[in-house]
Structure 1
């Protein structure tokens, strides 16, 4: 896609949110730029240098520090690499990468090569999980284990419901800027638990970003025949995009080494309470399999 993903002064506003989020973290973060064949990639790096590597991919149409903030307990023990996805809000280049072919796998390999990482653990919420599934398809040996949270790339929720509860309020919000319509979307996405700071970010993303509208390709069983790494899936019963009741059966059919499928009574955006449980699940999983 040619041209900027930002409308008017959107880049300034969104990167302001990004920087404010980073300031809220109480640990050191390095910001590194890596040249890849898909464009310049901005990566947040944190955690003990001697720690085992974990790559964390941001949710789609979101900012990297927001979804990174969901997994902060991992920074205590692991060396965390969190790239801004190219073509999504943040500091990376704006040309979009296809989530339907090998492109994301190649992009990740180039990032790993830069840091001399042969293989790693991977964590991804939403679109980020869909990216990991592209890597699992084309370069499965790069993945030591993976955690997919509310994952894209397996099965979609009800399109009718998405139109009614997300798309229509989004059209109304974009034409009126009314907080009421934004609240309708964020309440649906988070089961009424979204933090005010995140509502503001999401509102500005909706207003000032040309949104990525293509979901990652739905992964097939055949694509994952060579992917044998331990995998944990965490899903929400009230997730409008990727609900647990649609994911569960398909995930068990297509992922060869699915260690556990955990279900929480949550929306697409987890509440603070759910994040505590999710991180306990992830830490237990990593302690056992990584």
Structure 2
């Protein structure tokens, strides 16, 4: 298992892991780092928040580093015990073999992590790819989820492929060939509705440079898969999200998620601005007080 690598070079891997460590240092709370052996590979988990707090699992977005998307939900560490695993097969300190997001594999992986931390069921938060992972758990082990928050979620409906090719793929190919910041600015502008932090832009650029990107999105969830999933669910989506636009995501969410409490829409891209992060955290904390 340890033989596989998602990195294009040792230097690239070192660079990405340095970004990761620097990001953790930027947090104003203490972070424990725990390694858990699972049957899918060794998993590195960031743990924060009061030990007596109710547990919340937060799953990272795809093709980026865990602390980056965790930084969108840091207010949760004030009252909850947060567990944020590096997704196996994505940039970070977990093993690098890829797990299929089409079947039960992620559900079993999550179950093993929960068993390690002696958690029977809990709340879940997932941005992007992380939301797609939660939907796999909702399909195969719905009893593990007390409630869930899906932000800019994968696993429901994709945006226009033509638009993605024009606005993301073409500048990505040109950036890979030229390393020109002009193309990176284009991509980050589209991804964040022109609000991406410089630090995040640099990291995303280095991921594009040094990582063999995960190109498989989580399986699009079907209505029959969620018939046994009864947990309160909140969906937060962006109007200007090129990958998972709110008009498509919300329509499907309302059709297939049995206990959908609310769909909240913001004028944001795939990456929230700092202002949107504040609003999202207020909404999530309100939702958790009611349902967890």
Q: TM-score range by the shorter chain?
A: over 0.9
Q: Distance in 2 between matches of 1:4 and 1:52?
A: 35
Give 3-state SS (helix, strand or coil) of 1:172's partner.
Answer: helix
Give 3-state SS (helix, strand or coil) of 1:186's partner.
Answer: helix
* Cross-structure match for 1:145: 147
Gaps of 5+ in 1: none
* Cross-structure match for 1:20: 22
Q: Distance in 1 between matches of 2:130 and 2:281?
A: 17
* Cross-structure match for 1:269: 271
Give 3-state SS (helix, strand or coil) of 1:122's partner.
Answer: strand
RMSD of the TM alignment (CA)?
0.8
Does residue 250 (structure 1) correspond to residue 242 (structure 2)? The answer is: no
Q: Distance in 2 between matches of 1:98 and 1:168?
A: 26
How does 1:165-244 map onto structure 2 within 5 Å? 165-244=167-246
Deviation at 1:3, TM superposition (A): 2.7
Deviation at 1:263, TM superposition (A): 0.3
* Cross-structure match for 1:88: 90
Tell me which of 64, 76, 79 is aligned to 2:81: 79
* Cross-structure match for 2:5: 4
1:40-87 deviations in Å (ceiling 9; x for gaps):
000000000000000000000010000000000000000000000000
Give 3-state SS (helix, strand or coil) of 1:133's partner.
Answer: helix
TM-score, structure 2 as length reference: 0.99
Q: Distance in 2 between matches of 1:154 and 1:27?
A: 33
Q: Distance in 2 between matches of 1:44 and 1:72?
A: 12
Gaps of 5+ in 2: none
1:214-240 deviations in Å (ceiling 9; x for gaps):
000000000000000000000000000
* Cross-structure match for 2:165: 163
Does residue 44 (structure 1) correspond to residue 70 (structure 2)? The answer is: no
Q: Distance in 2 between matches of 1:250 and 1:6?
A: 35
Deviation at 1:254, TM superposition (A): 0.3
Point out 4+ residue stretches in structure 1 off by more than 6 angstroms.
none
Give 3-state SS (helix, strand or coil) of 1:65's partner.
Answer: helix
Give 3-state SS (helix, strand or coil) of 1:22's partner.
Answer: helix
Q: Distance in 2 between matches of 1:23 and 1:189?
A: 25
Does residue 100 (structure 1) correspond to residue 108 (structure 2)? The answer is: no
Tell me which of 55, 59, 62 is aligned to 2:61: 59
> Paired residues, what number?
290
Deviation at 1:249, TM superposition (A): 1.2
Deviation at 1:248, TM superposition (A): 1.3
TM-score, structure 1 as length reference: 0.99
